[in-house]
Amino acid sequence: VTEHAPAHEAPVRLRVNGREVEARIRTDDLLLDFLRERLGLTGTKESCGVGVCGACTVLVDGRPVSSCLLLTVLVRDRDVWTVEGLAERGEEEGPSGKAPRFRDVRRAFLDQEGLQCGICTPGVVVSAYALLQKIPRPTDEEIADWMAGSLCRCTGYHSIMRSIRAAAGLPPAPDVLADPVHEPAGGQGGAAENGDAAV
């Protein structure tokens, strides 16, 4: 194959979410399109198309990659996991034993509401899961560095940070916990029920 060879059809075999997949593909097909259109795995989202936003993140041999930049032909014989597959096998033990399982990630994102519209969420949780596999107890710096590859426009990221820390079993930063700011009871304000949401 020379650099300028036109796209042609080729057979591929790979594993997707633990299952063997065989297909004939065009050599210029993107993994993202293969997953969404050929396999119907629409949990993986298309957004920026240039590998910046992270909405199309999947795991290839355990590493998070942007499937919008990866040719399907390049994942021959590889092991691909999408959000649907991770959610399905969420009950199982993670590979390292100590790292949080996907169900812990899911539980933390539900509890801490690390999502809103949900379009970035599959990429975010896949990426967060990969982070915690690699670094089970990351620092905030490590979380922010890793997750900078997943853009979210709804949350402002604080709830995502809270979710990942909770998934890792990390405590909240204690210094500000006792600092909910609200008008004290009695005067104009005082709805203490809001106090628990104050940061």
Partner 1 sequence: MTPEIFLPVEEGREGRIDGELKIGGRMLFAADVPVPDALHAAVLRSPYPHARIEAIDTSAAERLPGVRGVLVGRDVAELRYGRLVRDVPLLAVGKARFVGERVAAVVAETRAQADRATTAIQVAYTPLPAAFEPDEALAPDAPAVHEEPWAYAGALCRPGGPRNLQARHVWTGGGDVEAALAGSEIRLEERFSTAAVHQGYIEPHACTAWVEPDGRIHVWASSKSPYRLRAQLAAAFGMPEEQFDVHAPAIGGDFGGKGSPMDVPLCVALARRFGRPIRLTLRYAEELTAANPRHDAAITVRAGMGGDGRLRAVDMRIVFNVGAYAGFRPRPALHGAEEAGSSYRIPALRIESLLVYTNRVPGGHKRAPGAPQTVFAIESTMDIAARRLGIDPWEFRRRNLLHTGDAAPLGQRWPEVRGRETLAIAERAFRPAFPAPLRPSIRVGRGTALYARTTRLGATSIRLRADAEGHVCADVPIPETGTGSHTVLRTVLARELGLDPARLAVRYVGTADLPHDDGVGGSRVTATASEAAFQAARRFGERARALAARRFGVSADAVTRTPGGQWVDPASGRVVDLVELAAFAALQGEELAVAIEMPQRQAGREDHAEEALAFCVQIAQVGVDEETGQVAVYEILTAHDVANVINPRSHLAQIEGGVAMGLGEALTEDLGIREGKVEAAHLGDYKIPSMRDVPRIRVAYLTGGRGVGASNVKAIGEMSNVAVPAALANAVEDAVGVRIRDLPLSAEKIYFALQQRGRKESVP
Rank residues 19 and 77 by Cβ distance to partner 1 and give the closer one: 19
CB of 50 vs partner 1, minimal distance in Å: 5
Q: Which long-range contacts (CB under 8 A, 24 or more apart) does 136-140 make?
A: 136/96, 136/98, 136/99, 136/100, 136/168, 137/168, 137/169, 137/170, 138/164, 138/168, 140/165
Q: What is the DSSP string of 46-77?
A: PSSSSSSS-TTEEEETTEEEETTS-BGGGGTT
Helices 121-134 & 158-167, crossing angle to 10 degrees? 40
- Hunting for tokens 């790979």 — which residue is that? 14
For residue 198, give the nearest of 180, 184, 185 by alpha carbon: 180
Beta bridge partners of 160: none
CB of 1 vs partner 1, minimal distance in Å: 19
Number of residues assigned to the chain = 199
- Count of Cβ atoms closer than 10 Å to residue 161 Cβ: 17
DSSP-assigned letter for residue 174: G
CB of 95 vs partner 1, minimal distance in Å: 20
CB of 114 vs partner 1, minimal distance in Å: 9
Rank residues 10 and 116 by Cβ distance to partner 1 and give the closer one: 116
CB of 90 vs partner 1, minimal distance in Å: 9
CB of 14 vs partner 1, minimal distance in Å: 19
